[in-house]
Amino acid sequence: MDIVINNTKRITISNLSPFFHHCCNFQLTKRSLYAIVSCSLLFLLAYNSSTVFYIQVPVPANSSPEISSFLTENVARKSRKLVSLSSSTKRSSSIIYAVKEEPPRQKTNTQLTISRKNPNFVSFTYNSMAYNPRRRREKKSLVKVLGSGARINEFSLRMKEFFGAKSYNNSCKYRFFMTWISSIESFGEREQFAIESLFKAHSNGCLVIMSTSMDSPKGMKILKPFFEKGLKVTAVSPDFNYLFKHTIAQGWIDSLMEGNIDPGEVSIGQNLSNLLRLGLLYKFGGIYLDTDVIVLRSFGKLRNVIGAQTIDVETRNWSRLNNAVMIFDKGHPLLYKFIEEFALTFDGNKWGHNGPYLVSRVVSRVSGRDGYNFTVLPPLAFYPVDWSRIGSLFLGPRNETHSKWLLSKLRQIQSQSLAVHLWNKQSRGLKVEEGSIIQHIMSDCCVFCNSYAAKL
Ligand SMILES: *[C@@H]1O[C@H](CO)[C@@H](O)[C@H](O)[C@H]1NC(C)=O
Ligand SMILES: *[C@@H]1O[C@H](CO)[C@@H](O)[C@H](O)[C@H]1NC(C)=O
Ligand SMILES: *[C@@H]1O[C@H](CO)[C@@H](O)[C@H](O)[C@H]1NC(C)=O
Ligand SMILES: *[C@@H]1O[C@H](CO)[C@@H](O)[C@H](O)[C@H]1NC(C)=O
Ligand SMILES: CC(=O)N[C@H]1CO[C@H](CO)[C@@H](O)[C@@H]1O
């Protein structure tokens, strides 16, 4: 996949193959946005001045049948035509995103776009003019007022220093965040590899690992090989009070500390991580990655992006988003909504309720509204293999058919995915077999290229 957003904002995704949608095993929200979609399309057609994103989706010449037999259930392809703005493409169908630049009184455009030739590809762009600095400015001045006179916050100083450090030549072109709420002993080779892949694709990135355990001499020792290579990574203990000051989650955190919130049966750590990532992006802006996300290529062209984990086989619009990869500007209103939702609906007893389900809920709720400007990328971007099939990445070739399948899946991921979420919970114990897809990926994405890769 070439994602090339140049001045004309043209995104080309070549060789999008037809099977990635098969990870759709959820059929979730089918909110009736159809009307809104149609309206905004008409609206768009009326506004030729819109900046237009094209996603070109050539139909793969040789979509190999083996692929579907390995990774997919045979799902009937009832192509319910949703929206197709492109009709005249010969070799590829175009998916058009339209983004209005500075429109006066513009309604939110929710673009659900679908390729005609390849109905499995769906993408969405939400945008509107109301994502503007006014609300942010108000918030900022509030921070100023309330913040003045408060004791100097160590956390914010450390963050400032790290991102602005002279010794780094001010070269923090990309701000990355990870969170690590577990013990230092469990920060293993896989996590270190995720960091390698991040720097392989972004040598001028800066990574902060939000972690109390890693923010220690032992943690620094783990990160030492990165320092020695001149890569900009550090670990900082999170300060929830600082991050969520003036958000509705402040009260939630206070209550939690006072023991008035039932953390539930599930570990609070994961759930705090779900909240923490939102606060980090809201406060600083940048790219959040789970520690089991292998980065394959630069995210440099992406802004305000969240990824779909699954799409609905029938409607071709997304059915579940995931929060393992998020790229947002500082103060983005969608982040605020996520934080708000977390504070208002926290339920420590339901799996995923405060994480992937949360972002899905909020995005489907705000998608018709003014004031939000973001893009949902298709599963292939960050979640090319569904969690239930993640094992297939770790297997070496079993026979000729399987070998062919491995190769084409590998090519697909290499050419079209930006990252691969390894779904650690499912894959942690798996061995990387000789000739497996993940082994190839690791040899492409390593910085140190140690033999430990083989053990992941
Ligand atoms: C998905 O598409 C269907 C039409 O095919 C539409 O009715 C529905 O509102 C869409 N769902 C979302 C969440 O946009
Ligand atoms: C929405 O986001 C796109 C892509 O990042 C950007 O080009 C556009 O200017 C934004 N629109 C508004 C109104 O902020
Ligand atoms: C800092 O940037 C300058 C100019 O871009 C470059 O010449 C110099 O080598 C850089 N220094 C370090 C320490 O990276
Ligand atoms: C090849 O290996 C795959 C994966 O183990 C297996 O599912 C399939 O049945 C095998 N096919 C043949 C022809 O042996
Ligand atoms: C409600 C909720 O999201 N709970 C999460 C808390 O953390 C555990 C795992 O650590 C998750 O499985 C739950 O989904």
pLDDT, tens digit (0-9, with 9 covering 90-100), for 353-375: 888 888 999 999 988 788 899 99
Does pTM surpass 0.75?
no
The pLDDT score that the predictor gives to residue 166 is 61
Q: Is the confidence at residue 86, as pLDDT, over 90?
A: no
- Judge if the beta carbon of residue 112 lies within 6 A of ligand 1: yes
> 250 pLDDT band (50/70/90 cuts)?
confident
Mean pLDDT is lowest, of 114-118, 249-253, 287-291, 300-304, for 114-118
Q: How many CB atoms are closer than 10 A to CB 171?
A: 12
C-alpha–C-alpha distance, residues 366 and 306, integer Å: 14
What pLDDT digit, counting tens, does each position of 402-442 carry?
999 999 999 999 999 999 999 988 888 899 999 999 999 99
pLDDT, mean of residues 42-61:
34
Domains of the chain from N-terminus onward:
137-383 (3.90.550)
C-beta of 225 in contact with ligand 5 (< 6 A) = no
Whole-number pLDDT of residue 336 = 93
Does any ligand 2 atom lie closer than 6 A to the CB of residue 375? no
Neighbours of 15 (CB within 10 A): 17
Q: Which ligand is nearest to the CA of 274?
A: 5
The rounded Å distance from CA 386 to ligand 1 centre is 22
Average pLDDT of the segment spanning 162-178: 78
Q: Which atom of ligand 5 is closest in space to residue 274's alpha carbon?
A: 3
Lowest mean pLDDT: which of 98-107, 154-163, 213-222, 442-451? 98-107
Given strand 305-311, what is the order of strands in its sheet?
Answer: 109-114, 122-127, 374-377, 305-311, 318-328, 286-289, 174-179, 205-210, 232-236
Choice among 2-11, 89-98, 128-137, 152-161 with the minimum mean pLDDT: 89-98
Could you give the angle at the alpha carbon of 259 between the alpha carbons of 254 and 260, nearest 5°? 80
Q: What is the mean pLDDT of residues 139-144?
A: 31
Half-sphere exposure of 84 (CA within 13 A, CB side): 20
Band (pLDDT 50/70/90 cuts) for residue 169 is: low
